[in-house]
Amino acid sequence: MKQGLVSRSFRAIFFRDFYTCVFALLLAAMLVASPLTFAGSADKAADQAKSTLVASSVNINKADAQTIADTLKGIGLKKAQAIVAYREKNGKFKSMDDLLAVKGVGKATLEKNKSLIAL
């Protein structure tokens, strides 16, 4: 009877410690993996912050092509380069409507971007 009590007690301690070790290993694995998860979240947060900053206005008389392309809706790098080339050839834009003279920039594109354009 005493031997049965000892063996039951040993099993109870062994399994209690076994489950404690398993729990500790799982907890350690979660702690190791959590910075990786937060790193992805930080990248997303940085992208959202960038898109928020991009949503501010752009001075089309001073900005480079990449900034124009990043800020204006429907304006890719090629159109932005055309805007800069037009500005360099013809001088500063005096009004937003002057953008309509740039090939590839139409009324719809201008309307989408009026709140984003500064002179």
Token pair 């990248």 is at which residue?
43
Query: Is the pLDDT reported for residue 42 higher than 60?
Result: no
Residue 87 dihedral angles phi and psi, to the nearest 5° = -60, -45
Determine the pLDDT at residue 54.
47
Considering the domain 58-118, what is its CATH architecture?
Orthogonal Bundle (1.10)
Tell me, what's the pLDDT at 5? 55
Question: Which amino acid is residue 56, in one-letter code?
Answer: S
Q: So where are the chain's domains? A: 1-49, 58-118
| Cα separation, 85 vs 8, whole angstroms | 86
Q: Is a pLDDT exceeding 60 seen at residue 37? A: no
Question: Which is more confidently placed, 108 or 27?
Answer: 108
Q: What is the pTM of this model?
A: 0.54
Of the chain, the percentage scoring pLDDT greater than 90 comes to 50
Q: With cut-offs at 50, 70 and 90, classify the pLDDT of residue 22.
A: confident
For 56-109, write each residue's pLDDT tens digit.
889 999 999 999 999 999 999 999 999 999 999 999 999 999 999 999 899 999
Q: How confident is the model at residue 19 (pLDDT cuts 50, 70, 90)?
A: confident
SS3 call for 117:
strand
